[in-house]
């Protein structure tokens, strides 16, 4: 029985319109590597930074890039552009409001403390019983620890949760932990898949 529904944030609830990690890889000519995304996330999403400059320097240092004012400003400007351009997917707010009536709702995100303000920008924080971000607990999705932290806060078990994310890798790991899952593609398809799982919408 599903007691809680846990959402990913970026490209599931809303979008910046571009992938910051890809822009950085292209701009700084970082070599292709299977570990690039993990290293990128670890460099910026595991800490509560005092400033964007501090975050930028950590990213540049992680990839052995020069911490010039130009490079630091590029990193900061890119994050600011993502925050400015971010949009909430049409129909998501209404869906959250409906689900909130019968289920506990959670939000798990690998994101920075500067980007999570998205939930306030679109006034959706009120729909979530709990929000767990990588920078809050020093763990990245899809680690088991970040999911267990969420279920602890929601007072339910992993097998009582439905997890929705746009990443196949995250979905596969959540399944391993015993969670029910939906791979997000768009809001219309999400509603159909919720119906198939007999989730009341």
What is the model's pLDDT at position 157? Answer: 98
Q: Provide the residue-wise pLDDT of the chain in tens; the chain has 201 residues.
A: 999 999 999 999 999 999 999 999 999 999 989 999 999 999 999 999 999 999 999 999 999 999 999 999 999 999 999 999 999 999 999 999 999 999 999 999 999 999 999 999 999 999 999 999 999 999 999 999 999 999 999 999 999 999 999 999 999 999 999 999 999 999 999 999 999 999 988
Q: Where are the beta strands (DSSP E) in 43-170?
A: 87-88, 104-109, 130-133, 161-165
3-class DSSP state of 158: helix
What is the model's pLDDT at position 201? Answer: 87
For residues 43 and 32, the answer to whether their CB atoms sit within 8 Å is no
Burial 27-56 (b: 16+ CB within 10 A, else e): eeebeeeeebbeebbbbbbbbebeebeebb
Peptide bond into 58 cis (omega under 30): no
For residues 5 and 161, the answer to whether their CB atoms sit within 8 Å is yes
For residues 103 and 3, the answer to whether their CB atoms sit within 8 Å is yes
What is the model's pLDDT at position 200? Answer: 87
């Amino acid at each position: 029985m599903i007691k809680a529904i846990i959402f990913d944030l970026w490209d599931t609830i809303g979008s910046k319109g571009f992938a910051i990690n890809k822009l950085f890889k292209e701009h700084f000519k970082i070599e292709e590597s299977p570990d690039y995304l993990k290293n990128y996330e670890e460099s910026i999403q595991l800490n509560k930074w005092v400033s964007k400059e501090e975050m930028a320097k950590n990213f540049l240092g992680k990839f052995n890039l020069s911490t010039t004012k130009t490079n630091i400003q590029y990193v900061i400007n890119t994050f600011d552009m993502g925050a400015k351009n971010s949009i909430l997917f049409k129909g998501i707010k209404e869906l959250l409001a409906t689900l909130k009536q019968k289920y506990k709702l959670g939000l798990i995100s690998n994101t920075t403390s500067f980007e999570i303000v998205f939930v306030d920008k679109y006034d959706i924080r009120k729909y979530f019983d709990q929000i767990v971000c990588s920078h809050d607990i020093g763990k990245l999705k899809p680690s088991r620890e970040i999911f267990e932290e969420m279920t602890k806060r929601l007072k339910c078990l992993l097998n009582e949760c439905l997890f929705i994310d746009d990443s196949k890798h995250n979905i596969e790991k959540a399944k391993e932990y015993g969670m029910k899952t939906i791979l997000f593609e768009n809001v219309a398809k999400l509603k159909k898949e919720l119906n198939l799982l007999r989730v009341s919408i």
